[in-house]
Amino acid sequence: MNTASIVQTSQAAIRTPGTSAAVRALLRRELLLAWRRRADALFPVLYALIVVSLFPFALGPEDALLARISGGVLLVTVLLAMLPSLESLFRGDLEDGSLEQMLLAPQPLPLLVLVRVLAHWAATTLPLIIVMPLLAVLLRLPAQVLPVLIVALLLATPLLALLGAILSALTAGTRRSAILLALMLLPLAVPVVIFAAGAVAAAQSGLPYLAPLLWLAAALILALVLAPFASAAALRIAAEV
């Protein structure tokens, strides 16, 4: 889809790049940045690994107990591991002026925000989901539940990232936004955790688990459409300094 529109001006033709070119450029920048800061991307994985490996020590290596709580523990661990990076999602762009360049670009800002959030999710949260089989073994999660947990996470984490992006955009210009973000994200995260944990618990007791997953999918689609607009509006306000 290369819709390079040509705007005739008095001096020379200005060629605005198509949205696909802009999306590619932004994606490339985000992934390059993630690669340059790959030590940062490792932090959520290490955090989750530490939390998960501490649980058996704290509760005792009782397989039945661990298996019963493992789904919930893994979900909450992933959510908490996502928080620190969400807080600074737009902070850097605001401080170094790249946000201004995106605000003034001829491309629709919500689209750029969406790409930005999904790239951020892929760089920080996807590694967490990839190591999930290892974490699941540490907590004695039954093997047949693992696919359900991974699907639940694949639906729940982008949803949380999109919700977090709105809050991150709202708090980008404020100090101590980490606490603010965590407090505001909590009520939004509760239903997401309930549905994801509900699916995992249902799968664990052999009950149908599709309904909560579909609810998560519906919420994710809604967030994919609406959250970029809300984040973009919040970013325009954050840039008004």
Positions that interact with other proteins (CB under 8 A): 4, 7, 9-17, 21-22, 24-26, 28-29, 32-33, 36-37, 92, 95-98, 100-107, 239-240
CA atoms of 68 and 153, how far apart (whole Å): 18
Instruction: Please report how close the Cβ of residue 224 comes to other proteins at its closest, in angstroms.
Output: 22
Are 171 and 101 contacting, i.e. CB atoms less than 8 angstroms apart?
A: no
Query: Considering beta carbons, is residue 4 or 218 the nearer one to other proteins?
Result: 4
Instruction: Please report how close the Cβ of residue 154 comes to other proteins at its closest, in angstroms.
Output: 28
Query: Considering beta carbons, is residue 62 or 236 the nearer one to other proteins?
Result: 236
Query: Considering beta carbons, is residue 35 or 221 the nearer one to other proteins?
Result: 35
Instruction: Please report how close the Cβ of residue 23 comes to other proteins at its closest, in angstroms.
Output: 8
CA atoms of 116 and 172, how far apart (whole Å): 15
Query: Considering beta carbons, is residue 20 or 53 the nearer one to other proteins?
Result: 20
Q: How far is CA 93 from CA 11, 69, 115, in A?
A: 33, 39, 14
CA atoms of 165 and 103, how far apart (whole Å): 16
CA atoms of 115 and 107, how far apart (whole Å): 12
| Closest to 103 (Cα-Cα) out of 239, 5, 241, 231 | 239
Instruction: Please report how close the Cβ of residue 100 comes to other proteins at its closest, in angstroms.
Output: 5
Q: What's 144's DSSP letter?
A: G
**Phi and psi for 156 in degrees, rounded to 5?**
-75, -40
Instruction: Please report how close the Cβ of residue 17 comes to other proteins at its closest, in angstroms.
Output: 4
Query: Considering beta carbons, is residue 4 or 211 the nearer one to other proteins?
Result: 4
Length of the chain: 241
